[in-house]
Amino acid sequence: MNKVFTFFLILTLTFIFSFSEAQEYECTMRYRDKIFNSVGMEGNVSFGQWVTSNGGIRPLRYDVYFPKNDTATLRPLVILWHGGAYLDMFTKESPDIVMMAKDLARMGYVAISPDYRGVRDVMDMFNDDGLIKEVVGSAIDANRAVCHILDQIENGGNPYRINKDEIFAGGVSGGAVTGLHALLLPSLDDLGEQYAKWAREVDNGEADELISNKFCGHKNAIKGFINISGGILDTSFIKPVPISHF
C-alpha cells in the first residue's frame, strides 16, 4: 500500500512540476516576447554635424523607438547602426534597422537608430586612405551619438526613460564596423603609422581627442554588441571585460 501511495505521489508531483514549467514557458515575458502592441517613434533628434569633402555641413540625427503605454520607470537601450557600404544613400531609416528597432520596442526595449557620415562615390572606398578615413569618421559620429544619449540621460531629464546601466549596441555590415571601432579602437596609434596618419586628417585633426575620449568619459557605457556581418581592423582591440547580465 505504501509503495502504491508513493508511486502515485511521485506521479502527481511530476505532473504538477511539468505543468508548471510548461505554463512558465508559454507565458509571455518582457524582453523576450513582443508584449506591446504599439510602438512610438520620435524622429530626427539632432546630436551633431559633420563637414563633407566639399566643405558642406551635414546634420547628424537619430530616431528613437519605444513601447507605447509602457509604465516601466527605466528601460534598457539598444543602439543600432545601419549598413550600406558607407554610401550616404543609406540612412537610419534602413528597412532592416527599422524592423529590428520596432521589434525590440515591442519587447520592451528602447531602440535608437543614429546617422553617421557616408560617401557619395563608392570608388572612394576602394583605396586604403579613403576607407580608413571613413571608418574613423563614422566611429567619431557613433561616439558623438552615444555621448548625446548619455547627456540626455544624465542632464536632459532622461526623456526616453533609459537605464544607463543597460545600454547595448549593434550594427549591420558597415554599421557594425562603425560601432565596433567606436567601441573597441583604443587610439589612432593602434591603427599603425600610415593608417594613423590618414586618420589624423579627419575632422581637422580632432580625431585623436574624439576617439580617445570614448563616449565622453563613459568608456564602459555599452555593455554588449550585436555584430551582424561586421569586422574590425585588428582583433587585438578586443579586450576581456566582466560580463553583465540583466
Q: Looking at the domain assignment, is residue 139 inside a domain?
A: yes
Strand 110-114 vs strand 39-51: parallel, antiparallel, or unpaired?
A: unpaired
Helix (H, G, I), strand (E, B) or coil at 191: helix
The residue range of the domain holding 210 is 30-237
Read off the pTM: 0.85
Instruction: Read off the pLDDT of each residue in 6-21 and give the average, rounded to a whole number.
Output: 35
Q: Looking at the domain assignment, is residue 200 inside a domain?
A: yes
pLDDT at 239: 82
Q: Looking at the domain assignment, is residue 18 inside a domain?
A: no
Higher pLDDT, 126 or 130: 130
Q: Looking at the domain assignment, is residue 160 inside a domain?
A: yes
Using CA atoms, how far residue 48 sits from 8, 59, 161, 198, in Å, is 69, 6, 22, 23
Give the domain CATH number at 149. Answer: 3.40.50
Report whether pLDDT(19) > 50. Answer: no
Beta-carbon contacts of 236 under 8 Å, excluding residues fewer than 6 positions away, are none
Q: What string of DSSP letters covers 61-120?
A: EEEEEEETT---S-EEEEEEE--STTBTTS-TT-HHHHHHHHHHHHTT-EEEEE----BS
pLDDT at 26: 54
Instruction: Read off the pLDDT of each residue in 28-39 and give the average, rounded to a whole number.
Output: 94
* pLDDT over 90, % of the chain: 61
Q: Looking at the domain assignment, is residue 19 inside a domain?
A: no
Number of compact structural domains in the chain:
1
